[in-house]
Homo-oligomer: A and B are copies of this chain.
Amino acid sequence: MLQVIKSIKDMKQKIKTIKDSHLTIGFVPTMGALHEGHLSLVRNAKKEHDEVVVSIFVNPLQFGKNEDLRHYPRTFDRDCELLSREGVNLVFYPDITEIYPDGFCTSVIVHDLEDKLCGKTRPGHFRGVAVVVLKLFHLIKPDSAYFGQKDFQQTVIIKRMVYDLNLDINVKVLPTIRNTEGLALSSRNVYLTETEKKDALCLYQSLVKAQCMATSGITDTEKIIREMKKIIHTCASATIDYISIVNPETLEITSEVRNGNVVTLAIRIGRTRLIDNVILTF
């Protein structure tokens, strides 16, 4: 039976009960508008832990002034239905004032990692992510926390934060879930028109191109990115924010591609900004 908890006080009490029973906790932090990507995290959490906690909180601190905070999809009832079907018992669904009470003024900065890639276009975004995730970690005290590979930079930053701050939490990063044509699932895909949805396939196509080139022995980053850009440019509605090939821990750009490097990109399709990435293996 799905229990929705809105207050921090009740959540702490619940977590205490779970901990006192020596049960392990798998935690899936989300902003709701759940899709198969989230559900894949939930399924893994469930497989690996006694209890699963899913948080649903559209975190204002991680949205820029001109971003889509107001329009971000909110589908709470449907989310609960989906989670119920997965056998989730516990959803944390706090109000903004519960998470950020009057006078709240603490932020967490993972320097070096937060201002690269998406951080350039979205200044402050990853500080907002880091602080809310840290708060949720403190509240829910999970043994493992689950994140999707799609939000690659986010996963790198959270892993670094957890390591730097000596948290005993296993950060698990699971593969990006795609539709049958390759489009990475994202809550923001609902913004896309039917035409844009087709255009948006160029993201994955360009990533596949990069993988193929690397497999065929091409290691020149510039050359690979040039070919990727050609694919993106075939789409009238696409604008490139960035395409980079980076070290998966430092996010430093590589000039020579190595096994395990990550090709990561942010592309605007019409007015919708989409991100995607693949880990290069060859």
* A residues with CB within 8 A of B: 8, 12, 103-113, 131, 134-135, 138-139, 160-161, 164-168, 249-250
Q: Which of B105, B165, B249 contacts A160 (CB 8 A)?
A: B105
Q: Which of B107, B139, B160 contacts A166 (CB 8 A)?
A: B139
Instruction: Output the nearest chain B residue to A157 by Cβ-Cβ distance.
Output: B106
Bound form: Cα–Cα A131–B111 in Å = 13
Bound form: Cα–Cα A138–B163 in Å = 11
Bound form: Cα–Cα A134–B106 in Å = 12
Q: Which of B110, B138, B166, B168 contacts A165 (CB 8 A)?
A: B138
Bound form: Cα–Cα A135–B108 in Å = 13
Bound form: Cα–Cα A165–B139 in Å = 9
Instruction: Output the nearest chain B residue to A140 by Cβ-Cβ distance.
Output: B166
- Contact status B12-A168, CB under 8 Å: yes
- Contact status A111-B106, CB under 8 Å: yes
- Contact status B138-A106, CB under 8 Å: no
Extra contacts besides A105-B160, A105-B164, A109-B109 (6): CB < 8 Å: A8-B166, A105-B110, A106-B161, A106-B165, A135-B164, A138-B165
Bound form: Cα–Cα A242–B139 in Å = 38
Instruction: Output the nearest chain B residue to A16 by Cβ-Cβ distance.
Output: B168
User: Could you jot down 22 A-B contacts, CB within 8 Å?
Assistant: A8-B166, A103-B160, A103-B249, A103-B250, A105-B113, A106-B108, A106-B109, A106-B111, A106-B160, A106-B161, A106-B164, A106-B165, A107-B109, A107-B111, A108-B109, A131-B165, A134-B165, A135-B165, A135-B166, A138-B165, A138-B166, A138-B168
